Amino acid sequence: MEKLTDKYLWKALKEGDLNAFSVLFEKFYPLLHSYGLKISKSTVVTEDTLQDFFLYVYEHRENLSDLDVIAPYLFTSYKRFLLKVMKKNEKFKHTDFSNEEFVDIQFTAEEVITNQETAVFKNRNLSQLLNKLPSRQREAVFLKYYSGLKAKEIAEIMGINYQSVINTLFKAIKSLKEEISIIKLFN
């Protein structure tokens, strides 16, 4: 069932097919977990909300819109779901949620080292360079290179247009290249 199109998988889920739900869960859980962890910075909160989110999706499957591509819907919906839970959680009372579109993603050295896309840079300080980027650029880079999403999907998730995603990614890559060039000059 893994080679099914998103459209067919979503339709089967909406009809209550548990196999479709299982495929959906297995396909998107790791990606959403990684994204949720970047937002909440808490494994417990991420895992709890992710399980609740998937349960919510299944329980409300009959009310879901038809989709051709699943990822943007799940990322967007899960981000809203997670932020809503975090707003209610005492631990996050100090966090400003006035702009729900704002996500402050930070990269760890392990993520940079294990991701094949970043092997080109061959720089131990890449996580520091990534974290210097503005938050919107970090989110776009994370969704593109660490979650494997397309620019169109990222546009839906971030609530911006396609060209803005392309521009944001271009600026991020340009900035990283400039920083790396400066580091190479002094090494």
Residue stretches of the chain with pLDDT short of 70: 1-3, 90-103, 107, 109-125, 183-187
Task: Give residue 181's pLDDT.
Answer: 74
Answer for the pair 122, 113: CB distance below 8 angstroms, yes or no.
Answer: no
- The helix (H) or strand (E) run that includes residue 169 is helix 162-185
User: Would you list the domain boundaries of the chain?
Assistant: 6-92, 109-185
Task: Give residue 113's pLDDT.
Answer: 55
Task: Give residue 110's pLDDT.
Answer: 64
For the domain made up of 6-92, the CATH class stated in words is mainly alpha
User: Measured in Å, how far apart are the chain's first and last C-alpha atoms?
Assistant: 51
CATH-assigned architecture of domain 109-185: Orthogonal Bundle (1.10)
Look at residues 16, 56, 186, 37 and name the one whose alpha carbon lies nearest to residue 104: 37
Task: Give residue 77's pLDDT.
Answer: 94
Is the pTM above the cut of 0.75? no
**Does 6-92 match 109-185 in CATH topology?**
no
Interatomic CA distance for residues 87 and 166, integer angstroms: 31
Task: Give residue 114's pLDDT.
Answer: 55
Q: CA neighbours within 13 Å on the CB side: how many for 127?
A: 12
Task: Give residue 1's pLDDT.
Answer: 41
> What is the SS3 assignment for 160?
coil
Task: Give residue 26's pLDDT.
Answer: 93
